[in-house]
Structure 1
């Protein structure tokens, strides 16, 4: 496979290695992983011209493989290598028996927000939906023009109306959506809430308070490798991008 093609697969995470059965704790304990400097050299040789940095290496859940935490243009990813560091394996490990994506679970741990990060995130909330007394809270990173966000909101709105979830909206206009930034700033400046957001509220009010909040939101998200919407940020500091159905969302909330 050409390296350019392989890299595209790596970035979009569309390839996968299926693991049939639970790997167990003994699976990862015996493997000796290569030095991180060796892996960095392999990455630099394989992906010349790419800003790829190996941050950490450890045994994977599967015997004989090591998992490498890498940063790609400020975004975290996981790849796998053999004990010699010669082979780089791009994709995800799925535990078919437990029905769990092991790569995603570990990546969530790598990306987990700190207590200080969560304090900063609170300052970025534009408005909330659902009672403050709800047993669960989620930060919902959204763009007013994002079609997938509207699908995600159907579940969030239902759970908020039932009183089981408070949704804290964080407005993150994507550059690809003309006018989204101005809409987000106007919502903050005019102190509008969920109902106006749903109605695609617009105004010419581009006050400094709104501009600063949206700029701070974009800086925060980019610093943590969050490049798309919708993204759910949970109270334990982990986050997940893409639409989650109710079952997946409830399971994640219960696991915190």
Structure 2
């Protein structure tokens, strides 16, 4: 039993693939809402945890990106349903999801730069609110009020977190929190491109890369 051999718990084995030209098998397991990737030798007793570089590719990184893109496709309609508001620059022809927390300091510092990047690249920004309650106790109430008050992108840029709570807002934020857990987004700011590629943190150059 793999769990007993490795002395770790995981939910399920997602896939197993032999790596051509080696005597290793790549194993992907679902664990704690995310993915863990390791490599097994034929003896069933020897394992490698870490990324392996072969033929110009870091195998674990490439596999993780593929799994994340698959998750994105599976949950696309649900992701769209938790978008709180969006920004559409003139002539936009692509989109990204921006996952943010009202009280995330780095989100606040970079939100104007994100808009500048979107304007320059003609990319729609679909904003998903993900209050990280353990770090920011007031963020959930702010997020709910934002939905209930019909917050727009300009309000977000100017930090106008006002209004009253409502059942619609509570549901949307609860759904957002649950869905981000399902697709293994646990930090802000995070970005998901229309093609399912992800970026944690803000970098104009890395955003350029995920929309290609």
Q: Which interval holds the TM-score relative to the shorter structure?
A: 0.7 to 0.9
Structure 1 pair 57–152 and aligned structure 2 pair: CA distance change class (3 A): farther
RMSD of the TM alignment (CA)? 2.5
Matched, 1:113 2:71: yes
Task: Output one character per residue of 1:205-250: Cα deviation in whole Å (capped at 9) or x when no partner.
Answer: 11111111001111111122222222222212x2425224222221
How many residue pairs end up in the alignment? 210
**Structure 1 CA distance, aligned partners of 2:139 and 2:53?**
37
Which runs of 5 or more residues in structure 2 are unaligned?
none
- CA-to-aligned-CA distance 1:121-156 (integer Å, 9 cap, x gap): 111111112327412210111111223334553542
* Deviation per residue, 1:64-104 (Å, 9 max, x gap): 32211111122112122223332222122346x85x54322
What corresponds to 1:30 in structure 2? none
5+ residue gaps, structure 1, are 1-40
Superposition map of 1:144-163 within 5 A: 144-150=102-108, 153-163=111-121
Give the TM-score normalised by the residue count of structure 2: 0.85
Question: 1:114 deviation in Å?
Answer: 5.4
1:242 matched residue in structure 2? 200
Distance 1:81 1:245, change over 3 A: same
| Alignment TM-score, normalising by the size of structure 1 | 0.72
1:124 alignment partner, one of 82, 85, 90: 82
Provide the C-alpha distance between the structure 1 equivalents of 2:20 and 2:165, rounded to a whole number of angstroms.
50
2:50 alignment partner in structure 1:
91
Residue pairs, 1:23-172, within 5 angstroms = 41-48=1-8, 50-60=9-19, 63-94=22-53, 98=56, 101-111=58-68, 112-113=70-71, 115=73, 117-131=75-89, 133-150=91-108, 153-172=111-130
CA distance in 2, matches of 1:87, 1:138: 41
